[in-house]
Structure 1
Amino acid sequence: MSAAATRPAFPFTALVGQAPLQRALLLAAIDPAIGGVLVSGPRGTAKSTAARALAALLPEGAFVTLPLGASEDKLIGTLDLEAALRESAVRFAPGLLARAHGGVLYVDEVNLLPDALVDVLLDAAASGVNTVERDGVSHSHDAHFVLVGTMNPEEGELRPQLLDRFGLMVELGTPYDAAQRQRIVKARLAFDADPQAFCAARETAQRALAQRIAAARDTLAKLAWSDAVHERAAQRCIEAAVDGLRADLVMLRAARALAAFEGADAVTPEHVDEVADCVLAHRRHAMPQRSDASSATEPQPAASTSRREEKHTERTSDADWGELPPEPVAAKAVKGVIPLPAKKR
């Protein structure tokens, strides 16, 4: 076995300066139905390191990477149609979704994948089931995994329809604090010098964190959402002027996962506030300015309204209903028309 195969993952508890990302990953691990985590940031910000570190905390420990050139069959698996016709038996060749069951499915540069492939990924991540249908033959299997997608904003964005379907989002930046950069680099150099010794020094903390994740999963279903929690989630989503209700659902699930991780007896509005940023980071359209009681409950127009639209509104605000505003028309010369002589001054 090669050295690369036996090399341990960087310990999750040894990550430096990644608290928001660590929290989002833990919440998704406790409740995969949240829908995965989208990590946006430049190169070299430990996105893949954090994902591998999370997989090492899970019981199965599976870490599966989806390459950019993967086909849909490689992702979802295929059915042996010849065996189905010849032996009347369904034989399924598992894909990456089956391999990732119980672990982490990591997709680097998810914004460069075909939309159809991203759709399949997000469907399976949210439902926990993968269904393959070919020529009337159907096969389903469990696919509970933590979806971690990364992207570099400089290389393009995801379509809004796909962006919204990621449960949580964390935006990373390059650290410009000298002390923090030194701590990150020193930890990495120590790990590279002796991975086994570095991981052994953190084995107790790693084991304790893995036990907390398992305990949180067991208590998740016992925690309910009160009306106060529902109201706080609705308020935060209205303030952010989100589209649809997916943000409300994700926010409630994330708040419950956080409460379970902390060992709380109940989900509180404070748990909602703590997870709101990563739920709304990729869904927020506008932050309303509250000037009166009505503005507190109604979202303001998105800040992206163009100046041209504003001018059009100003021009037509006093016009009768149905009246078109005047538009300038360029004058054209007409052949055969003799221009009048200019008046003498």
Structure 2
Amino acid sequence: MTRKPFPFTAIVGQESLKLALLVSAVDPSLGGVLAFGDRGTGKSTTVRALAALLPNMKVVEGCRFNCDPEAGEAQLCEECRKRSAGGKLKSRSVPLPVVDLPLGTTEDRIVGALDIERALLKGEKAFEPGLLARAHRGFLYIDEVNLLEDHLVDLLLDVAASGENLVEREGLSLRHPARFVLIGSGNPEEGELRPQLLDRFGLSVEVRTPDDLKTRIEIVKRRDAFERDPEAFSAKWKSREGKLRRQILKGREALSEVAVSDAMLESCAKLCMTLGTDGLRGELTMMRAARAAAALEGQKEVTLAHLKKLAVPALSHRLRRNPLDDSGSLARVERALEECFGHEG
């Protein structure tokens, strides 16, 4: 029996992580979320809670890669393209996948490899899908991402950026869609990610142990109530879960209609120039995240308030190290926001 996930709307605190996950749910192309911070702060609980909150997705019946039956031919795997030539694709409904990538996993396990059993028993070269195939259109969660081997992280980020997994090994040559929200978490005390890898994550948040007494008590009370009777606890939050689910779906539908003015783009660029971020990925991510936040709120246009809300998660992990400034990246972004915009918005 599958264990019922903790309700997303019942999670106390962790507002930055929840916001980052919600805007990524509205716009999965943002590039994923990196959550660094203390152990035992509910990072994986929050990710699984969001995935359970989202509605089931339709997949092509019999497809090994979770292909979308309503997608265009270019977004289907080779097998589904052949099926579609014979008429409308049959579909079924499945929960949104949340795939864990454990430490110590191999490249073959991630990308897929030759099906050894079929090769030995039938002499056939057949592809055994990996974790990337299972995660397509869902979430790929990597706990302790800072301890994952560099070449595996490079591989994952390349696939996440291209939306496609190309496998060429052991006489096999195959490609299949692999679009997912990449979620990484870890404890910075155990090692840092390389700057170029940090930059490839769309959003980054710091997750800290609450230092407020009432918050800590409420977290313990809710977790204890959930552990004792998951069904009753989940029922109590059902209406709020449904409301947030509808809000996310409306945000997805409205995303393309949300306007971003030249003044807001200028504000993005001004802030990034003040912080000295490399490249233009910072501006692009902040603009897209702000647009997703506006869509989530049912707004028709991005405002400075949206930009300020998403500036820290979009930019804090893209800053150059400054040996003359020992303040944290979060403080540097907040200081730059004050310098650029003061109390505007």
TM-score, with structure 2 as normaliser: 0.76
Distance 1:244 1:304, change over 3 A: farther
Residue 317 of structure 2 is aligned to residue 282 of structure 1: yes
1:166 corresponding residue in structure 2: 201
1:11 corresponding residue in structure 2: 7
Q: Write out aligned runs for 1:196-207 (5 A).
A: 196-207=231-242
- Alignment coverage as a number of residue pairs: 285
Superposed displacement of residue 180, structure 1: 0.8
Query: Which of 19, 26, 44 does residue 48 from structure 1 map onto?
Result: 44
1:247 corresponding residue in structure 2: 282
For 1:99, the aligned partner's letter is: R
For 2:284 and 2:16, locate their aligned partners in 1 and report how far apart those are by CA, in whole Å.
Answer: 20
For 2:251 and 2:294, locate their aligned partners in 1 and report how far apart those are by CA, in whole Å.
Answer: 8
What SS does the aligned partner of 1:45 have? Answer: coil
For 1:205, the aligned partner's letter is: R
For 1:36, the aligned partner's letter is: G
2:29 corresponding residue in structure 1: 33
Q: Which has the larger radius of gyration?
A: 1
1:67 corresponding residue in structure 2: 102
Cα-to-partner distance string for 1:172-197 (whole Å, 9 max, x where unaligned): 11112111110110010000010111
Note if contact 1:32-1:126 (Cα within 8 Å) is conserved in structure 2: no
For 1:123, the aligned partner's letter is: D
For 2:10, the aligned partner's letter is: A
Show structure 1 runs of 5+ residues with no match: 287-301, 307-345
Query: Which of 187, 195, 199 does residue 152 from structure 1 map onto?
Result: 187
Superposed displacement of residue 305, structure 1: 8.2
Residue 212 of structure 2 is aligned to residue 216 of structure 1: no
Superposed displacement of residue 263, structure 1: 1.1
1:127 corresponding residue in structure 2: 162
Note if contact 1:34-1:126 (Cα within 8 Å) is conserved in structure 2: no
1:78 corresponding residue in structure 2: 113
2:303 corresponding residue in structure 1: 268
For 2:159 and 2:232, locate their aligned partners in 1 and report how far apart those are by CA, in whole Å.
Answer: 38
1:314 corresponding residue in structure 2: none
2:17 corresponding residue in structure 1: 21
Instruction: Return 270-279 or 216-225, whichever deviates more.
Output: 216-225
Note if contact 2:32-2:201 (Cα within 8 Å) is conserved in structure 1: yes
2:92 corresponding residue in structure 1: none
What SS does the aligned partner of 2:317 have? Answer: coil
Cα-to-partner distance string for 1:166-219 (whole Å, 9 max, x where unaligned): 111110111121111101100100000101111111111112211221221222
Distance 1:192 1:80, change over 3 A: closer
TM-score, with structure 1 as normaliser: 0.76
Note if contact 2:32-2:183 (Cα within 8 Å) is conserved in structure 1: yes
Note if contact 1:100-1:143 (Cα within 8 Å) is conserved in structure 2: yes
Note if contact 1:62-1:100 (Cα within 8 Å) is conserved in structure 2: yes
Cα-to-partner distance string for 1:57-108 (whole Å, 9 max, x where unaligned): 2233211100101111111122569999xx9x98432111111122221100
For 1:231 and 1:263, locate their aligned partners in 2 and report how far apart those are by CA, in whole Å.
Answer: 23
Superposed displacement of residue 256, structure 1: 1.2
Query: Deviating runs (4+, > 6 A) in structure 1?
Result: 81-84
What SS does the aligned partner of 1:266 have? Answer: coil
Show structure 2 runs of 5+ residues with no match: 57-94, 327-345
Instruction: Return 215-224 or 177-186, whichever deviates more.
Output: 215-224
1:183 corresponding residue in structure 2: 218
For 1:131 and 1:218, locate their aligned partners in 2 and report how far apart those are by CA, in whole Å.
Answer: 30
What SS does the aligned partner of 1:164 have? Answer: helix
Distance 1:251 1:156, change over 3 A: same
Note if contact 2:248-2:296 (Cα within 8 Å) is conserved in structure 1: yes
Q: 1 or 2 for the larger relative contact order (CA 8 Å, sep ≥6)?
A: 2
Note if contact 2:127-2:172 (Cα within 8 Å) is conserved in structure 1: no
For 2:178, the aligned partner's letter is: A
For 1:76 and 1:65, locate their aligned partners in 2 and report how far apart those are by CA, in whole Å.
Answer: 14
For 1:179 and 1:196, locate their aligned partners in 2 and report how far apart those are by CA, in whole Å.
Answer: 25
Superposed displacement of residue 142, structure 1: 2.1
What SS does the aligned partner of 2:217 have? Answer: helix
Superposed displacement of residue 18, structure 1: 1.3
Residue 243 of structure 2 is aligned to residue 232 of structure 1: no
Note if contact 1:228-1:269 (Cα within 8 Å) is conserved in structure 2: no
Superposed displacement of residue 129, structure 1: 2.2
Residue 229 of structure 2 is aligned to residue 194 of structure 1: yes
For 2:114 and 2:282, locate their aligned partners in 1 and report how far apart those are by CA, in whole Å.
Answer: 36
Superposed displacement of residue 148, structure 1: 1.1
Note if contact 1:225-1:267 (Cα within 8 Å) is conserved in structure 2: yes
For 1:269 and 1:178, locate their aligned partners in 2 and report how far apart those are by CA, in whole Å.
Answer: 33
For 1:173 and 1:265, locate their aligned partners in 2 and report how far apart those are by CA, in whole Å.
Answer: 33
Note if contact 1:212-1:261 (Cα within 8 Å) is conserved in structure 2: yes
Note if contact 1:33-1:127 (Cα within 8 Å) is conserved in structure 2: no
